[in-house]
Structure 1
Amino acid sequence: MATGKTSTKPPQPPKPVRRPGKVKVVRALYNYTAQHADELSFEEGQLLYVHDLDTDPNWWKAKCGEKEGLIPSNYVEEQMEQVELPLHEAARRGNISFLLECLRQGVSPTGLDSAGNTPLYWAARTGHLDCVRHLLTLHNTGINAQNKMGDSPLHVASAHNHLDVVNLLLDSGATPALRNNDKLLAEELTTDPAIINSIQMSQRNCDRDYGYNAEDYNDDSD
């Protein structure tokens, strides 16, 4: 009976959902000493991770390191600098220590910026291998998530000729068959022959038919 290879369309990754950040990161410009046991002391320059700004507008619930407590908004709101999308910023700049601290403090690794980019997208685009490697260890990090232009982390790593990042993404399950809004594959965005070869090799491995052929049934024994 003849067996034919069935051509199947590559599965589309789930669309990431933009959600408001659950944690806001602010930087203290002045010292504050807690006046009560449920308050949080902090020093100038420290980063605070605010989890609740709405329950009481006069007091925000925040963390600093392993400590958690209330900070008085009437004291700090004019004296603190808000850091928007802290995990995206850490990934973009390759600041692995800040990235790890954001994750420890509960910043979502799947949050999106206004263009639909994940932190992994920015780490891949800027070629920060350590950040890419750590983000890929997380659950549902959006390895195949496409932004509003249809670009995935593999697209931008390829476009910016980051060979090590491309190889890491491919080894971690990035799909080379995705096309962006211009109908382009990741391999069509690079000028690096090594990247093209890596992507094509990965694609061939994905398409390989692991079924038995006639030679597998040959028996050379008597």
Structure 2
Amino acid sequence: FINVKFLAGNLSWLRECLDNRVGVNGLDKAGSTALYWACHGGHKDIVEMLFTQPNIELNQQNKLGDTALHAAAWKGYADIVQLLLEKGARTDLRNIEKKLALDMATNAACASLLKKKQGTDAVRTLSNAEDYLDDEDSD
């Protein structure tokens, strides 16, 4: 288990942990992962290094129901919110207070990224049936 509270941006120590196959998805007493704490602390370099791990769990909810995305939005780290969204973090998870990451966003940049992502997710769920209806070349 990697405890990012003690990393404080120490990439070489994190690299050593990863080289020794220390679990990246371990939970602390609050049910939070290393990714959660890296996002909470604004440690973009550590977030990026954790993303090099093929099994990183983006959507793990802690005991309060918060995800890494909730933490980054609440702390106002738009660059980290962007990274999480690019990796496929879910925007539809609610914490125990029924709040989405969007509800917790503390600045316009984070809110804008989250709104845009939710909009594209909604569009993607529409049926593709209309693509087949107007294909006149098919015989």
Q: TM-score under structure 2 normalisation? A: 0.87
Alignment of 1:195 onto 2:110: yes
Q: Give the corresponding residue for 1:161.
A: 76
Residues 91, 119 of structure 1: 8 Å contact kept: no
Q: Secondary structure at the match of 1:145?
A: coil
- RMSD of Structure 2 on Structure 1 (CA): 2.1
Give the deviation of 1:93 after TM superposition: 1.2
The structure showing larger relative contact order (alpha-carbon pairs under 8 Å, at least 6 residues apart) is 2
Q: Give the corresponding residue for 1:206.
A: 121
Give the deviation of 1:154 after TM superposition: 0.1
Aligned length: 134
1:217 to 128, 134, 138: 134
Cα distance in 2 between the residues matched to 1:90 and 1:196: 26
Residues 176, 203 of structure 1: 8 Å contact kept: yes
Cα distance in 2 between the residues matched to 1:176 and 1:198: 10
Closer, same or farther: CA 210–91 of 1 in aligned 2, 3 Å: farther
* 1:133-152 aligned within 5 A: 133-152=48-67
Cα distance in 2 between the residues matched to 1:91 and 1:136: 19
Give the deviation of 1:213 after TM superposition: 3.5
Give the deviation of 1:91 after TM superposition: 7.0
What per-residue deviation string (whole Å, max 9, x for no partner) do you get for residues 177-217 of structure 1? 10001000001112211111111111111111252438x72
Which protein has the larger Cα radius of gyration, Structure 1 or Structure 2? 1
Q: Secondary structure at the match of 1:187?
A: helix
What per-residue deviation string (whole Å, max 9, x for no partner) do you get for residues 37-73 of structure 1? xxxxxxxxxxxxxxxxxxxxxxxxxxxxxxxxxxxxx
**Structure 2: 5+ residue runs without aligned partners?**
none
Amino acid at match of 1:207: A
Structure 1 consecutive aligned stretches of length 4 or more whose deviation exceeds 6 Å: none
- Report sequence identity in percent: 38
What per-residue deviation string (whole Å, max 9, x for no partner) do you get for residues 128-185 of structure 1? 1111112122122110000000000000000000000000000000000100010000
Alignment of 1:183 onto 2:103: no
Amino acid at match of 2:76: N
* 1:70-85 aligned within 5 A: none
1:124 to 30, 39, 46: 39
Amino acid at match of 1:117: S
Q: Which structure carries more strand by proportion?
A: 1
Amino acid at match of 1:213: E
